A and B are shown apart, each in its own frame.
Chain A
Amino acid sequence: MVFNSLNFFIFSAVFFPLYFALRGKARLWLCLIASYVFYGAWDWRFLGLIVTSTLIDYYLGLSLEDEQDQTRRKRLLQLSLFANLGFLAFFKYFNFFIESATAGIQSMGYDGSLSTLHIILPVGISFYTFQSMSYSIDVYRKQIPVERNLLRFATFISFFPQLVAGPIVRASDFLPQFAKDREFEWSRFQVGLGQILWGFFKKVAIADSIAPFVDQCFADPSKFGGLHLAIGVVFYSFQIYCDFSGYSDIAIGLARIMGFDFPKNFNKPYFSQDFSEFWQRWHISLSGWLRDYLYIPLGGSRGGKLFTWRNLMITMLLGGLWHGAAWVFVLWGFLHGSYQVLGKILSPYWRKLHDAVRTPKFIRVALNVAIVYFLTCFAWVYFRAGAPNIAMSDQIPIAHGVIGGIFSGEGWNFGAVINKFIVLKGVLLIGMMLFVEILDEKMPMWQMVDQRPAFRVVSFASLLWLIALFGVFSASAFIYFQF
């Protein structure tokens, strides 16, 4: 079930009154059943997977808490990681490994071919697997107490607002919030509803409006001139941002109405001035997860420059692979890893250069933002080429077709751009969104929504008008569901 569908509207109309009518265990049962209905609406067969994953981590957590022997505790943790990563490896990466091995064998001149399996990727598996793993690791590290209530634990793993596309909420942040029943609060409802409307605006009015233009560019780049393709890449950068952050906004808003506080998942990432900052603003829950459970255990920045760079590269490569089972995602991770390493090497010289020529601060900031945005877009080309409808063998050629088309110098006039109407609509909508984001820096929107009824009425009505006017109502899935 997707948020932008009539089914979810009906689901919410039934769920929320019941949620606030019930208390204690009954409410938890409602949350769990509703979450399984929400997830099962895609494919009920995968409910078995999420239940299995839940039971494994629940019982291993109990064993970890009770076990005092460090070696045995380590084995229990390994078992949890093996089970979770095993599901992920089988459902998400099995065919990728087989196809890559086959290609490797054939490139060495052997006539080898290995059979792949017809495996359907369970929606959101990467999200709930990571959430579940973080619980086991935290219990192992004794950073959180074990959860002894299975109902509460199962609800934590399957909580429907963030089940299929995050944010990935840590057990330490989430489980304690189940401790007491949350009452309905007008303040939470007002802000939560505002976040939901803002998320819908980003998803159905922006991301889905510009998606056809992007799809066209990546279907056959040779058909289009440089400017058309460049607009396609810029649009993709906003499509994926609005799609994913829109989902996060809706998830956070739903949880807020229910009485739960989820951490921010996006914080105006395209205003970043370097790539370290970008990763503190983009998909914050994943980058925090990778930092705490991969980068720091690898040694982080504790062992000198080379060691830090190695750890950064490993983290970003695996972060790339987390997004999808294809080499283009690894390449995307590699690019982001390289950007961070190069940033660390070059930034002292860059600062010295600015100091020497006394660049005004706003120019310095604008230049930094522009460079980071340009390089981010370059990496997005590979990421977009990994879309599920593009065969693996076509992904790199398509990415290079887009990049080659942009830098060929051909078709760099607006007359050669096809579908100018989508371009104008996209620019208008993206402009509106960026304007609100800039405004939010000066006047925090959610505070105004909460405290000023007139602002609330005008902003909600405006969002509803914009959604009605520009929305695409085809119940298209969110991009990050595929991860």
Chain B
Amino acid sequence: MKKWMWIPVVLLVTFLGDRLAAYLLTSAVEKSEFRYSRLYAGDGKADIVLLGNSRGLNFFQPYIEEATGKSTLNLSYNAMPADLGGALLRDYMDTYGAPEKLVVDVTFLDRDNEELIREFRPYAQYSERLDSLLKITDSSIYWGTKVAHLSRYGGEVAQRMFYYLSKSDEDWLLDRQISKQMAEDSKSLEPYRNNYTLDRIRAFGKVVNAYQAAGTDVRFVINPYYPAFQKSIMNLDSLALDVRRETGIPVLDYSKSVTGDQNFGDYQHLNKKGAEVYLARMLKDIGL
């Protein structure tokens, strides 16, 4: 055998192994109970669609479903950027039509997040929007996923997708109480700003206006913050005003609606107990 023969053999084995393993993993994507898998596998239809960043996970689905008797799909994800959130909502509408209600925590309009768009690469094969978003965000990752299909499945989103292969992801919520140290430190917090931009609000406004036009009751909210942290945020009022002006949809501000250390996991997130306190009030306000 020629001394160099192992090189094409390595390349061939690598290529075939990549395609075979990716094929198996792709079928796992479609079987997973993870919310985005359900969205793209045709099993995501819901009466109420929810969206936000990690704070949007405070829309605790088991409680909402029990209290309202309606099905939910929560598209929130940690550090969700507005463009990705918009793409997911448009994909939902294309597949399932308009839901009865769309509830959005507008504090998620505070960021772009290229990293998370990269993380959503397992789903780019199902969505032209996600695919082009990935291409614009990081062309090397985009082309990497075309060359090595396995590279779609190494990120955090893919890992969550595997984790929820045979169990629901709807009952996950931060399961802890804010630490004493954090509570103590909250006495001397630096001023904090939500980094929303008008461009981002306008772009997202187009998405939700399409929902409204299709008959969905769209509700914007600001989920609760830890009281001392809430006080340190300089521009929540202007966020609410700008969102209303740019989209025509009023914002219900619940940022001060929950108090007590026992209800918070940290400054920005309620724990399970706090989420139930909050949702009891919010659901009533939005007619559910």
Which residues of A are in contact with B by a Cβ distance under 8 Å?
Answer: 6, 186, 190, 209, 222-223, 225, 405, 408, 410-411, 415-416, 419, 421-422, 424-425, 453, 456-458, 460-461, 464-465, 468-471, 473
C-alpha spacing A469/B153, complex, angstroms: 6
Nearest-Cβ distance from residue B168 to partner chain A, whole angstroms: 17
Are B17 and A465 in contact, with the CB atoms below 8 A?
yes
User: From B159, which residue of chain A is reached at the shortest CB distance?
Assistant: A421
Are A461 and B6 in contact, with the CB atoms below 8 A?
no
Are A469 and B150 in contact, with the CB atoms below 8 A?
yes
Given known contacts A222-B182, A473-B144, A468 and B6 CB-to-CB distance under 8 angstroms: no
For residue A453, which residues in chain B have a CB less than 8 angstroms away from its CB?
A: 1, 6
Nearest-Cβ distance from residue A400 to partner chain B, whole angstroms: 12
For residue A471, which residues in chain B have a CB less than 8 angstroms away from its CB?
A: 151, 154
Is B67 an interface residue, CB under 8 A from the partner? Answer: no
User: From A424, which residue of chain B is reached at the shortest CB distance?
Assistant: B159
- Count of residues in B whose CB is under 8 Å from the partner chain: 31
Given known contacts A421-B159, A461-B14, A461-B17, A222 and B150 CB-to-CB distance under 8 angstroms: no
Indicate the member of B14, B140, B160 with the most A CB atoms within 10 Å: B14
Are A473 and B6 in contact, with the CB atoms below 8 A?
no
| B120-177 at interface with A (beta carbon < 8 Å) | 140-141, 144, 148, 150-151, 153-154, 156, 159-160, 163, 175-176
Nearest-Cβ distance from residue A203 to partner chain B, whole angstroms: 14
A–B complex contacts, Cβ < 8 Å, 5 sampled: A223-B266, A457-B6, A458-B13, A460-B10, A468-B144
Is B180 an interface residue, CB under 8 A from the partner? Answer: yes
For residue A415, which residues in chain B have a CB less than 8 angstroms away from its CB?
A: 175-176
C-alpha spacing A186/B1, complex, angstroms: 13
Contact of A470 among B9, B154, B160, B266 (CB under 8 A): B154
Is B179 an interface residue, CB under 8 A from the partner? Answer: yes
Nearest-Cβ distance from residue B13 to partner chain A, whole angstroms: 4
Is B27 an interface residue, CB under 8 A from the partner? Answer: no
Contact of A421 among B4, B163, B175, B180 (CB under 8 A): B163
Contact of B141 among A222, A408, A473 (CB under 8 A): A473
C-alpha spacing A422/B160, complex, angstroms: 10
C-alpha spacing A205/B266, complex, angstroms: 31
Are B163 and A223 in contact, with the CB atoms below 8 A?
no
Contact of B151 among A405, A419, A421, A469 (CB under 8 A): A469
C-alpha spacing A311/B288, complex, angstroms: 75
Nearest-Cβ distance from residue B263 to partner chain A, whole angstroms: 17
User: From A428, which residue of chain B is reached at the shortest CB distance?
Assistant: B159
For residue B21, which residues in chain A have a CB less than 8 angstroms away from its CB?
A: 465
Are B181 and A468 in contact, with the CB atoms below 8 A?
no
Is B3 an interface residue, CB under 8 A from the partner? Answer: yes
Is B18 an interface residue, CB under 8 A from the partner? Answer: yes
For residue B199, which residues in chain A have a CB less than 8 angstroms away from its CB?
A: none
For residue A419, which residues in chain B have a CB less than 8 angstroms away from its CB?
A: 156
Is B185 an interface residue, CB under 8 A from the partner? Answer: yes
| Other contacts beyond A186-B3, A460-B14: 10, CB < 8 A | A190-B6, A225-B179, A408-B181, A410-B180, A415-B175, A416-B176, A424-B159, A456-B10, A457-B9, A464-B14
C-alpha spacing A405/B182, complex, angstroms: 11
C-alpha spacing A457/B5, complex, angstroms: 10
For residue A460, which residues in chain B have a CB less than 8 angstroms away from its CB?
A: 10, 14
Are A410 and B179 in contact, with the CB atoms below 8 A?
yes
Indicate the member of A186, A411, A464 with the most B CB atoms within 10 Å: A464
Given known contacts A468-B148, A469-B153, A470-B154, A222 and B179 CB-to-CB distance under 8 angstroms: yes
Contact of B140 among A6, A223, A411, A470 (CB under 8 A): A6
When each residue 180-197 of chain B gets 1 if its CB lies under 8 Å from chain A and 0 otherwise, what string results?
111001000000000000
For residue B148, which residues in chain A have a CB less than 8 angstroms away from its CB?
A: 468
Nearest-Cβ distance from residue A341 to partner chain B, whole angstroms: 35
C-alpha spacing A12/B122, complex, angstroms: 31
Are A456 and B175 in contact, with the CB atoms below 8 A?
no
For residue B176, which residues in chain A have a CB less than 8 angstroms away from its CB?
A: 225, 411, 415-416
When each residue 213-238 of chain B gets 1 if its CB lies under 8 Å from chain A and 0 otherwise, what string results?
00000000000000000000000000
For residue B141, which residues in chain A have a CB less than 8 angstroms away from its CB?
A: 473
C-alpha spacing A422/B159, complex, angstroms: 9
Nearest-Cβ distance from residue B75 to partner chain A, whole angstroms: 18
For residue B4, which residues in chain A have a CB less than 8 angstroms away from its CB?
A: 186
For residue A186, which residues in chain B have a CB less than 8 angstroms away from its CB?
A: 3-4
For residue A456, which residues in chain B have a CB less than 8 angstroms away from its CB?
A: 6, 10
C-alpha spacing A458/B1, complex, angstroms: 18
For residue B3, which residues in chain A have a CB less than 8 angstroms away from its CB?
A: 186
Contact of A465 among B18, B160, B175, B181 (CB under 8 A): B18
C-alpha spacing A97/B151, complex, angstroms: 46
Nearest-Cβ distance from residue B224 to partner chain A, whole angstroms: 18
Are A422 and B153 in contact, with the CB atoms below 8 A?
no
Contact of B156 among A190, A421, A468 (CB under 8 A): A421
Are A461 and B179 in contact, with the CB atoms below 8 A?
no
Are B154 and A469 in contact, with the CB atoms below 8 A?
yes
User: From B157, which residue of chain A is reached at the shortest CB distance?
Assistant: A421
Are A421 and B154 in contact, with the CB atoms below 8 A?
no
C-alpha spacing A66/B150, complex, angstroms: 61
9 cross-chain pairs, A with B, having the tightest CB-CB distances, nearest first: A468-B148, A421-B159, A468-B150, A461-B13, A470-B154, A469-B154, A461-B14, A469-B150, A468-B151
Indicate the member of A415, A453, A456, A468 with the most B CB atoms within 10 Å: A468
Nearest-Cβ distance from residue B211 to partner chain A, whole angstroms: 31
C-alpha spacing A455/B161, complex, angstroms: 33
User: From A453, which residue of chain B is reached at the shortest CB distance?
Assistant: B6
User: From A470, which residue of chain B is reached at the shortest CB distance?
Assistant: B154
Are A465 and B163 in contact, with the CB atoms below 8 A?
no
For residue B154, which residues in chain A have a CB less than 8 angstroms away from its CB?
A: 209, 425, 468-471
User: From A221, which residue of chain B is reached at the shortest CB distance?
Assistant: B181
C-alpha spacing A410/B150, complex, angstroms: 39
Nearest-Cβ distance from residue A159 to partner chain B, whole angstroms: 26
Nearest-Cβ distance from residue B225 to partner chain A, whole angstroms: 15
Given known contacts A421-B160, A421-B163, A223 and B151 CB-to-CB distance under 8 angstroms: no
C-alpha spacing A469/B154, complex, angstroms: 5
C-alpha spacing A457/B151, complex, angstroms: 20
For residue A469, which residues in chain B have a CB less than 8 angstroms away from its CB?
A: 150-151, 153-154
For residue B181, which residues in chain A have a CB less than 8 angstroms away from its CB?
A: 222, 405, 408, 410
C-alpha spacing A405/B181, complex, angstroms: 9
Contact of A461 among B10, B144, B160 (CB under 8 A): B10
Are B13 and A457 in contact, with the CB atoms below 8 A?
yes
Nearest-Cβ distance from residue A82 to partner chain B, whole angstroms: 45
